[in-house]
Amino acid sequence: MPDATIIIPQHDCAELTLAAVRALRSRESQRWPIIVVDDGSSPGPAAELGQLPGDVQLLRQPHRGVTAAWNLGLRHVSTPLVVLLNNDVLIDGAWVDRLIEPLRLSSAVLSGVELRQERAVPAAILQRLGRTEFLAGWCWAFRAEAAREVGGFDSTLWLYFSDTDLQVRLLSSAATAAELAVIGPLPLRHVGHASTRFLPGRSVQWHADRARFIAKWAGDRR
């Protein structure tokens, strides 16, 4: 039985989601459970999702952002492990087993494809958090129960910084020394902002989410 579920959030740009799912099904020998969460797409792209394979679970919500989509997907996961995958990722081989192996071995709290330097948060906040590097949010994995125990994603962070926020809480709540596992290179390529660059008000939302994140962690409210 597969021990990980892949959650793919999406808003419009259904062709990216369909391509990612088809690549997963053709490249992976294991038929991993896949949950696609449609975040209030317009009618055309929403209808295109009817082309998803029958064994892919499709969830729909009003347009509330990627954080709400992640939380909705997480509530429907029945496997021990969760993989979050952006829909604008090109897949050219099998990779899921390698990504989640550190979680299976209990040698890591989080596993991802690359580290990113957090440059948008003041140094004083990063010092409080105890780290300056986090896993890139376009493909990473964690234990489902651990995420539920800390309350899932912070829904006040609508689009940005919610992945950083959950990583901080998972690492700080770990009973043992918390580690990030970086697995790679994997046969994946992130196109980058292919599904968000057309969102109206994206810059305004970034600044709003950043301000909320900083205010939250300045007071260390977990």
Q: Which residues of 171-194 are buried (b: 16+ CB within 10 A; e: fewer)?
A: beeeeeebebbbbeebebebeeee
Phi first, then psi: give them for residue 178, nearest 5 degrees: -80, 130
* pTM attached to this predicted model: 0.94
Domain ranges of the chain: 4-218
pLDDT tens-digit map of 71-89: 999 999 999 999 999 999 9
Query: Mean pLDDT lowest for which of 13-22, 174-183, 206-215?
Result: 174-183
d(CA 160, CA 209): 6
pLDDT of 206 > 80? The answer is yes
Tokens of 18: 């369909």
Predicted local distance difference test score (pLDDT) of residue 173: 84
Nearest residue to 142 (alpha-carbon basis) of 1, 21, 4: 4
Query: Mean pLDDT lowest for which of 51-60, 97-106, 211-220?
Result: 211-220
4-218 to CATH, choices 3.30.365.10, 3.40.1190.20, 3.30.450.90, 3.90.550.10: 3.90.550.10
